[in-house]
Amino acid sequence: MILLTGGAGYIALHTAAVLIETGHDVVLFDNFCNSKPLAVERLAAIVGRPVPCVQGDVRSRTDLDGLFDQYSIDAVIHFAGLKAVGESAAEPLRYYDNNVGGSLVLLEAMQQAEVRRIVFSSSACVYGEPDASPIPESAALRPANVYGRTKLMVEEILRDLQLAAPGWSVALLRYFNPVGAHPSGLIGEDPNGVPNNLMPFVTQVAVGRRPQLQVFGGDYPTPDGSGVRDYIHVMDLADGHRAALDWALRDPREVLTANLGTGQGYSVLDLVRSFEQASGRAIPYRIVARRAGDVAAYWGDPLLARQRLGWTARRTLEDMCRDSWNWQSRNPQGFA
Ligand code: NAD
Ligand code: UD1
């Protein structure tokens, strides 16, 4: 049985769908601070059977001990965390408590339960502003915000733990920019309030919930002046978790740090054009000032994940746009 903390969230739901379809049993664990129980019902509809989901908090040792008593867990994929960069600057203690404190409590409960295989949701933001792209895993780590520092701290805690207790197998997955949705259109990204990220903003404009996209910066040193990122389809990301989990289940007893990206950068305007084609909807936009803290361009080097995990992203920007639109057009108000 595989435990997915933060299991009702965007990336975990898609990962659960892939894991169940490849023969794994999963249990989801979530406090629903940024997700809804309906999402778990949708997952069940996709896989054709109920998916066990326990409500609880990774900061609660009582909740976790109960979970490890109830289920025989072979490995954990630790998705639970808060992820809004701006909010992390305004509420640093909440972010350190939830992301770092929650990870510590989880690791203590795992140690107690003798579960020593973990796949951790890290982020490309541990690199901060890179010297060059594509970014290899060996690049300097200098996160530029609180959220990124919480991710780097948990990476370091896991490295220290594995040094002290070599029986552990640890995969640190640094995601680039996840977008897209399950092809069924039953699950997808459903942010609360005004989306911070580009794709959910674009899909909400397309569905009429917002009048216009603001393109943050048209004067970057990029081919069209807008910011460039490594967008990755969430189903490819889910498949990367399956590969990392299979690696951990072989008990390699080491720490593996891998980028999960496509290795390809696209600009904001590339994404808007591709989305317009995929959806048949016009996306009105206005180029405005740069967003504070944004980097002009970065994308990941995906070679290590290919060599060590046998995993490569396969889906195109067109696939990402089509599936994001399929989800949003079928669910204009998300899971509401
Ligand atoms: P999400 O918010 O959809 O999912 C996170 C889930 O964790 C939510 O369901 C939330 O309710 C749950 N959660 C949060 N704190 C919890 C706690 N203390 N106890 C139990 N459950 C808790 O986000 P996501 O996009 O699916 O991201 C999953 C993970 O991947 C996060 O750790 C995030 O930081 C990381 N990540 C996300 C992105 C991205 O762009 N989406 C990029 C890089 C890394
Ligand atoms: C942000 C987070 C990063 C996180 C990632 C994916 C920062 C500094 N980093 O990255 O930690 O891993 O999301 O969740 O915030 N854009 C617009 N208009 C919008 C929204 C975005 O033009 O309304 C542009 C941005 O300027 C950027 C690109 O779109 O060039 C992507 O933005 P976004 O989706 O927020 O992701 P990142 O900034 O790359």
Residue range(s) defining the domain that contains residue 243:
2-330
In a domain, 151, yes or no: yes
Q: Is the CB of 248 under 6 A from ligand 2?
A: no
Q: What is the DSSP letter of 290?
A: P
166 in a structural domain: yes
In a domain, 172, yes or no: yes
From the list 102, 64, 67, the residue with the least C-alpha distance to 83 is 102
Q: Which of 79, 152, 197 to mutate to test the pocket of ligand 2 (most atoms within 8 A of CB)?
A: 197
Tally Cβ neighbours within 10 Å of residue 136. 15
Specify if 297 maps to a domain. yes
Spatial distance between the Cα atoms of 106 and 125, rounded to a whole number of angstroms:
23
Relative to the alpha carbon of 237, which ligand is closest? 1
215 Cβ below 6 A of ligand 2: yes
C-alpha 35 – ligand 1 centre gap (Å): 9
- Give residue 70 CA to ligand 2 midpoint distance, Å: 39
60 lines ligand 2 (CB under 6 A): no
Token pair, residue 31, equals 């406090």
Q: Tell me what percent of the chain is helix, strand and coil, each rounded to the nearest 5.
A: 40, 15, 40
- Nearest one of 90, 92, 121 to 7, comparing CA atoms: 121
Q: Please count the structural domains in the chain.
A: 1
Reference 175, options 112, 131, 237; nearest CA is: 237
Task: Indicate whether 239 belongs to any domain.
Answer: yes
The domain spanning residue 122 has which CATH number? 3.40.50.720
pLDDT of residue 21: 97
Question: What is the structure's pLDDT at 133?
Answer: 97
- Mutating to test ligand 1, I would choose from 3, 5, 34, 192 the residue with most ligand atoms within 8 A of its C-beta, which is 34
Does any domain span residue 335?
Answer: no
Nearest-atom number in ligand 2 for the CA of 175 is: 12
Ligand 1 proximal residues by C-beta, below 6 Å: 6, 8-12, 30-35, 57-59, 79-83, 98, 102, 121, 123, 175, 178
In a domain, 336, yes or no: no
Residue nearest to ligand 2 atom 11, measured at CA = 125
Which is nearest to 171 in space by CA: 139, 137, 198, 216? 137
- In 3D, which of 305, 312, 301 has the Cα closest to residue 134? 301
Which positions are catalytic?
147
Tell me the whole-structure pTM to 2 decimals. 0.98
Asked whether residue 254 is domain-assigned, the answer is yes
Two tokens, residue 309: 């995990």
10-residue mean pLDDT series, the chain (336 residues): 98 98 98 97 98 98 98 98 94 98 98 98 96 97 96 98 97 98 98 94 97 97 97 98 98 98 98 98 97 93 98 98 98 95
